[in-house]
Amino acid sequence: MKILALDTSTEACSAALLNGNDILSRYALQPRKHAELILPMLEELLVEGGVCLGELDALAFGCGPGSFTGVRIAAATAQGVAASANLAVIPISSLAAIAQHAADEFSVTKVACAIDARMGEVYWGCYRQNAAGHMILEGKECVMAPEEIPLPLDLDWTGAGSGWSSYEEALVLRMGSTLEGFKAEVLPHATAIAQLAAVACQQGRVIPAGQALPVYLRNKVARKSVRILHDG
């Protein structure tokens, strides 16, 4: 299976090419340069991997939640690249990508993901590893104050994501004995997106390029932004 993946949903910008059992990647922490970095990253990977765009099975992207601008860049890039080669698209949650990245890097099986959503809130989701090593969402992803996050029902959870740095005290207090520790430095990575996308592709969970849309979770912000654009 050949999947090209990208993510610009947080301060990290990354791309990956999954080609069978091999994976190539690019990664940069340059939050203000996502728009200019992501296409060259994709092009470099295709050249390095010796793969043409039309040979891909699908293109995957981190659909959010995350930075409002970042998820729009990812969705627009995915739409444009996929449409140019008539590729199917696979949206992957940025929180799921954090969970998979943490599982791969630190050999943990239960990850409580938090991305700083600003406005005193976090984007939140709890993921558990299945028998195949893939992270599966428990419950629902949401956005809310760290003091109000829904708690997992068992112990030994590892926190991951920028929310654990921004709201450490509140999240640690809220999680209590269910928390084993946290890795605030873990961000979404396109390699994790490619892995999760391969599973989705095998299951037929793909969409046309035109349906590659951002996921914000915070609907009131999205509505406000649309209203401002309309009024302007």
What pLDDT, on the 0 to 100 scale, is given for residue 180? Answer: 98
Bond prior to 146 in cis (omega within 30° of 0) = no
Residues of the chain where predicted confidence (pLDDT) is lower than 50: 220-232
Indicate the CATH number for domain 2-94+188-231.
Answer: 3.30.420.40
Residue type at position 184: A
Helix axes 94-106, 190-202, angle to 10 degrees: 110
Domains 2-94+188-231 and 95-183 share a fold: yes
4-62 residue pLDDT tens: 999 999 999 999 999 999 999 999 999 899 999 999 999 999 999 999 999 999 999 99
Residue with tokens 């520790």: 181
Domain range summary for the chain, segments of one domain joined by +: 2-94+188-231, 95-183
List 28's β-bridge partners, or say none. Answer: 13
Taking Cα atoms as reference points, which of 95, 100, 96 lies closest to residue 115? 95
CATH architecture label of 95-183: 2-Layer Sandwich (3.30)
Helix axes 68-85, 34-49, angle to 10 degrees: 40
What pLDDT, on the 0 to 100 scale, is given for residue 226? Answer: 29
